[in-house]
Each structure stands twice: as C-alpha cells, then as structure tokens.
Structure 1
Amino acid sequence: MVGKGLSSDVMYTIMLNGYCRVNCLPEAFALFDVMKKRGIRPDIITYTVMFYGHSKINLKEVQSQAHNEGFNENNLTASTFCLEAKKMELKPDVICYTALIDSY
C-alpha cells in the first residue's frame, strides 16, 4: 500500500474501518493503540471511524445485555476520543458530529 502512495494513517484508518464494520471491535481498539504508539497521528476521519465503532459497542450492549467480550472499554469512551481529537486541534466535520451523537 505504501508503494501505491497511501500514507500510513490512511492504511490504518482503512483497517480500523474494516474491523468496525465486521464487528471486530477489540481488534479495532487494539490497532488504534498500536497506531498511536508507532507515532502515526490519527486524523479526524480516523476518530470518526472510532466514534462509529464506539456506537456499535453501545448498541450491542443495549441490545444483548451480554457480558464483556474480553476487551477493556473503560478508557475507550466517545468522550476520550473527543478529548484526544480536541487536543490534536482536529476540526470535526458533519460526519464526525453525527458519529459522535450516535455514540452518545
């Protein structure tokens, strides 16, 4: 992908989006952490993907009332993502706000 001209943040965002779409949320959150640890700066699109992923967690919990699926969501809230994006001085767009509202 790098050879084709895609930047690292775009590749990570594509993978995160894929994980969220197929409901592999623990993998998405783990990959998001790896991305940041490697010094790859998430953009507003990446945060939007994570907002949508978080809203899926909330929806799943409400629908199933099931037990935890083995990942720690304690520090992974929409508010956490929002604060991180704000610290990075990222400007939310309409899509980001919609994802954030869905998450809440």
Structure 2
Amino acid sequence: MQALSAIQGNKATIKLDGHFTFEGHREFKRATNEVVDNHNVTELEIDFEKVDYMDSAALGMLLLLNERMHGRSVKLINCKGTVRSVLDVANFAKIFTMV
C-alpha cells in the first residue's frame, strides 16, 4: 500500500492506494506522522478512493490515528464497496465523519 500525504494550510489529505492491511502499517504511520506532528493541521481527510480491501489491523490503525490527532477533525472520504461495508459494520461513522 502507498500512503501519500499533502498539507495545504490547516488541511491535510492522505491518499491511500492498495490493500489497507497490517503490511502497510509502516507506510501509513510515516504518512500520518507528518500530519500529526504538524499542529497547524486542524482537519485531516483520508482518501480511500483507490482502496478495495482493508483488514481489522487497518481499523486499529485508524483508531490510533484518531487518538493521536487529539480531537482534530478526521474524515474518511471516498469509501465504497467492501471498504464501506467494513467501516459500517465497525460503526466507524460514530467515530469519524464519513463522506
């Protein structure tokens, strides 16, 4: 999996590409560290447009990221298909804004 981050002003975007699984945890952490460490960022969007599979480890990574953001906004965007189903079953819409 690839995770590319971009920061513009107070908004950051991380675009994921590939299977979002435990094997991608180092890449995900690298991309998210850039955002978490930048205290000017108040909003983070994680773009799932190019993700067609995720496992329970990915859910855990998202929960940890949410904690590390210390109340700053985290949105999950472009979730579809199986990925959307996994997020729905896990009730992630109660934790994250899903667009």
TM-score (norm 2): 0.38
> Which structure has the highest strand share of the two?
2
- Which one has a bigger Cα radius of gyration? 1
